Structure formats: C-alpha cells, structure tokens
Structure 1
Amino acid sequence: MFVVQALARWVASGTEFGPAPILDSDTFDGVQLMLLRVIEVASVLVLIATVWVFLVRPYLAHRRLGLDGKIVIGSLLAAAIDPLINYFHYTFAWNAHAWNLGSWLGSFPLAQGPTHYGEGLAWFIPQYLYLGIGLASIEGRIILALRRRYPGVPDVRAFAVASGSIFIADCLLEQVFIRAGVYAFPRTWSALTLFAGTPYQFPIYESLFVAVYATGFTALRMSALDHPSGLSFVERGVERWRPSLQTPITLLGVIGFCAVWAALAYFLPWSWMSNNPDSLIHIPSYMTPGPPSH
C-alpha cells in the first residue's frame, strides 16, 4: 500500500512527475551521451533476460511460480522505495540526461532531501534484479562449488567468500557507471572513499551494502535448497493454508522480505552514512537537483 500511494501521489502531483530539469550549461553530449544510452539499453536487456531466466521460463516449464520468480516480482516492487537513498541529503547524484520522470521522494513522509531530480528508470530498476537475484545466483554457485571442493566447509566461511567476491565485483561495476557519468557520490566519508575529492570518488561502503543486500537473497535461496521441504524460511508453514492460497501467501511473504531487506541492508545504513560526511565534491548541473516544486 505504501508503494501504491507514493506512486499515485507522485503521478497526480502535476509538478514532481516529469523529467528533471537540467539547470545550467554544463555539457553532456557526444560520446558521453552515447555511452549513457548504451548503458540504458544494456540494462533493459539485462532486465528482460533476468525476468525470462528466473520468472517466465521456470513458470512455463512447471506451471507454477517458484521462489526465484517471487523474488523477481518482489525486487521490482522494492524498486519503488529507491528514493530513500536521498531521504536526508542528496548523497546519490543522478544524471538528468538519463531517461527519467523525476523522483517520487516528495511522496515519502517527512523526507528532508531535495525531491526534484531524475531517477534513471532504464538503468536503476534493472539493478534491483541483477544486484539481487542475479548476484544471489552467482553467490549460490560459489557456495555450492566450495561445498563440493571442501566437504564440510562451514556456511559462515562459504558465505563470506561468496559475499567478498560480490563486493569486489560491485566495486569494479560501479566504476563503469561513475566514470560514464551515470551517477556520482557528492557526499562521502573520505576515510572509506576511493579517489576522495575527485569527481569519481567512490565510497566503498556502497559495495559493502550491495554485497549484504545480495547475500540476503542468497540466504533465502539457499535456505530452500538446504531444507527437506524445498521451501525457504519465508515460505515455511504455508501448508496450513488451503492449496489455492499458498502461492499468493508465499508471494506476499517474499515481497515483504524484498522490501524489508532492501531497507535494512542498504537504504537505512546508507541514509545514516549520508550524515556528517567530510568529502564533498562539486557536481555538474545535469546532476544537480532542481528547485522545490510547489
């Protein structure tokens, strides 16, 4: 309901719903703009492929909605809480040249950050899938490989190796987005920031939170694989409901998990880290939020 009301109020606002303004004369064209469009198209293709692999194809094969399909649906819905990243301060700067319809942060209760900026719809929504179910699938493969190679390996160690691998991978992936001008981090803690003070500064806690986010989905998927019932810890006990309600009930459970885990693993710690930073950089006008709308 929160998601529905926030998006409905945003669309009905008449002022916040629409492409974010580009305020000044800073240029972003030629090769830069082309690279942004390539990233947007590639992201959409990844979204389509992810939905096919984890949702559509298994459903067509088994005629039922499996755990991965439920995670796909839950992750897409969880994307609606993305503006929490700038809830207190404008700490994640979006490029308004990306395809966007503004931001719906103004529909969030007591939001303190600026609300008139452009969330890149074509690339950030796919991130919720490939940073969640996609990376969880990779982590699961790493864990299973470790179990085969080292029988009896403790789960803590296997999960740590898998999560550490995702941390390194995300650090590299984020550099592509930052250096392509897709987004920037204008407010960071310098002690935990690579390239601090430059336009490409990157807080390593960003990748830490992403790794924790992905590992939560890994734990959910592995709990189903390791349990005799084949049900994840979110779905267990569903047998108490009549068969016709079991899929809707478990879907709601997984949707709830996706939203809560996104908030706990990423948004709340990130919002807290946005307070009292000491590495502040100038960002170009096409990443600067516009004046408040009325």
Structure 2
Amino acid sequence: MSDVSNRKKPIAEPLGAVSELGAPAQSSVTPVKVLAVIGGAILALQLYVVTRWVTGPYFERVPTGPSDPPMYMKIPLIANAAILWVGLPFALWFFIIRPWVRERRITLDGMLLVSMGLMFFQDPILNYFNTWCTYNTWLFNRGSWSPYIPGWVSPEEPGHQVAEPLLTNVPGYAYGVLLITIVGCWVMRKIKARWPNISNLRLILVTYAIAFVFDFVMEALVLLPIGLYTYPGAIRALSFNAGTYYQWPIYEGLMWGGVQAALCCLRFFTDDRGRTVVERGLDSVRGGVVRQQFTRFLAIFAGVSACFFIFYNIPAVWLGMHADPWPEDHMKRSYFNGGICGDGTDRPCPDPALPIPTKHSGYINVDGKLVLPDGAEMPKIIPFERN
C-alpha cells in the first residue's frame, strides 16, 4: 500500500506560460530535474576520480606486512567475498535483466541496485581529515582512490594507505545494502499493518531503532571480529569492546542506522504510481523514454548518495577529528595498519597528543622530531613593525 498519494500531474508548460483560467503555469523546474543535475555532477566526479586512480600511482596493492591473519579471520573473509560475488549475477538478473526482458523497463529496485553500488565511492570519506578506520589489507586490493577526492587531507602514499577491499565492498554495497533495504521496507509494512494509525514520524523512528540494532549485530558481532575492517580511532568511552581491534563505536550504529533508515524511507514512501519523493515531476521530462529514465536514475542516485553523505560521512568526518589513540591490539597486526604508521615506519599512529598531519604538512616522527616535506623549510617569524 502506498503511503504518500499524488495524482498524476500535467506536463509542465514553459516558464511564463498562462493557463486557460489565467493562472500562472507550473514551473518547468521540478525536483526530479534538479536532483538529476546533482546526480549527474556526482557521477561525473566519481568517473573523474576513479579514472585518475586507475591510471595513477595509487592503483597499487597495499601489502599485508609481516603479520598473518589467523584462520578464524581468513575463512569467513574468503567465504564472505565468494558468496557476495556468486550472488552478484543473480542480483543483476533478478533486479535488472529480468524486468527489462519482461517489461522493457528498469524497476526502482534495479536503479537502487546501481545507485547503491556507486555509493561505494564514498566509503573512504570518513578518513577525510584523520585516519580512524582501516580495512584488512590481506584482502585483495588495489589501494584506494581517496587521494584524488577533491580537497583530500589525510596523508597517504602509494602502497601505504587505507586500502579498499574490492571483492567484498563492490557487491556488498550494491545488492547487500539493497536486500537489507528491502527487508527493512517489509518490516515497515508489517508495522503499518499491525498499527495502522501509527504516524510516519513514529514509523521512521522505529525503523531507525531497528536499523541501529541490526548494525550492532552485523558489525560489532560479525564483521569486526572476523577482521574485515576496524575502527582504531573510535572514542573508547563510547565504544563496545573498547581497546580491542574489534571495538565498535556506538555512534557508528547511529550513523549507519540513519543511512539505512533513510534508504528504507526512500523506497517505502511512494505515490500511487510507485514513484519516490525524488521522482516528483518526472512526467515533465521531455525527450523520450530513454531520457526520462536516465533522468529518473540520476535523481535516485542523488537521493541515495545524499543518504550516505548526510547521515554518515558528515558526522563521521567530524568525529574522526576527535579520535582516541589506536589500541595496541590493532597496531600489532600489520594487516590492519596498511603501512601508514607504526612498526616498520618512522611515523607513530594517530594520537590526540600529536598534531594531525596532512598530505601537505610534515609530521612528528617516533623520536619526537618534526619531519618536513622534501624542500620545505620552517616558516620564518616576521617581526612586527614598530614605531
């Protein structure tokens, strides 16, 4: 059952036109067009960054280092990647190919599948100013595109950076997040059927609470203990299993719970034609079915990207600036460090007692000395003018 009903709107007339009754005509600028422009800009940026990454020096494997992950990590990590890639063709068939063959159209879920897969691009942004999350470099990787993200601040070098595990994250973000969203919408329908008078606000809050609990189970009890990734810079006073490599910050559940609840709402609240809030005004798009559907996709992609950026990356970047010292249980495992700090380097791992280095600045080495970039000098003190 649709929760938001909108009657089919007439195609918008050109700006400045007047209807038969003399009232001003509806503006041709509709939400779907505005969001499509935003989605197109985001997609262009992603293509630019990924192209620079693939053709540049950072497209290099980040080695594991001298530490070898235990078998209780290796087995579930391999199984996780294998299951995700085996399931990817089925997801493509079910959500994209089959609807196209049967109805010559791409469904909302098909567009969400692609949009959520592209959402993976934002994954490294939480380390934008300070590195507080790392992936297991034992997994297949080719470094990361993060240094090419405009304005990127955290210091990274080819082969020494937070690496993205492609075999896990690409399908995980695509149909993994979509399946969770579909289940979330099913739960929302059940809640609505059980309590038909529940307000939309309360329904959203209940969904958010459920998403928080689900994230705790998924991350704190599964993904972190098997070593897929870690939050070494988590604020320990706000973390579960604090001081271990698998510590889980409570605010991680609040942030990702917000993303997941927002995605569920985006898919759940549709009008009587099955269109989401970001597709309003789609009928005003001229130029044929192909242009209309591409506009629709870009708008949906913009909506999905906004869910991740607003509810997760903005607060995550700020919280990363308040990170605690990395736990010893993390730093002794080279496959979590990515060669960016600790043993084997002259760089101490991030610590609030030290200045946060940037890719343009020097850093304090393990001997407590300032190491400036090649060719750089200490800024001079310019004396004040005195009468």
In the superposition, the TM-score normalised over structure 1's length comes to 0.90
**What is the letter of the counterpart of residue 288 of structure 1?**
N
Conserved? CA contact 2:114–2:174, under 8 Å = no
**What is the letter of the counterpart of residue 4 of structure 1?**
L
Alignment of 1:249-268 (within 5 A): 249-268=295-314
> Aligned to 2:111, which of 32, 57, 70?
70
Report the equivalent of 2:336: 287
> Aligned to 2:215, which of 164, 170, 183?
170
Deviations 1:238-291 (CA, angstroms, capped at 9, x unpaired): 111224221111111111222222111211211111112235313211111335
Report the equivalent of 1:41: 82
Q: CA 1:187 to 1:27, structure 2 compared with 1: closer, same or farther past 3 Å?
A: same
For 1:131 and 1:210, how far apart are their aligned partners in 2? 14
Conserved? CA contact 2:72–2:226, under 8 Å = no
- Structure 1: give runs of 5+ residues left out of the alignment: none
> Aligned to 2:281, which of 234, 237, 245?
237
Conserved? CA contact 2:232–2:326, under 8 Å = yes
For 1:78 and 1:267, how far apart are their aligned partners in 2? 12
Bigger-Rg structure (1/2): 2
Higher helix share: 1
Alignment of 1:202-281 (within 5 A): 202-224=248-270, 227-242=271-286, 243-244=288-289, 245-278=291-324, 280-281=326-327
In the superposition, the TM-score normalised over structure 2's length comes to 0.70
**What is the letter of the counterpart of residue 243 of structure 2?**
G
- Structure 2: give runs of 5+ residues left out of the alignment: 1-43, 341-358, 360-373, 375-387
For 1:37 and 1:125, how far apart are their aligned partners in 2? 15
Conserved? CA contact 2:115–2:174, under 8 Å = no
Q: Does 1:139 align with 2:139?
A: no
Conserved? CA contact 1:132–1:213, under 8 Å = no
Deviation, 1:234, is: 0.8
Report the equivalent of 1:86: 127
Q: CA 1:58 to 1:206, structure 2 compared with 1: closer, same or farther past 3 Å?
A: farther
Aligned CA-pair RMSD: 2.1
How many residue pairs align between the two structures?
289
Between 100-109 and 61-70, report the one with greater CA deviation.
61-70
Conserved? CA contact 1:133–1:214, under 8 Å = no
Between 84-93 and 127-136, report the one with greater CA deviation.
127-136
Q: Does 1:157 align with 2:199?
A: no
For 1:96 and 1:286, how far apart are their aligned partners in 2? 5
Q: CA 1:43 to 1:91, structure 2 compared with 1: closer, same or farther past 3 Å?
A: farther
For 2:54 and 2:239, how far apart are their aligned partners in 1? 36
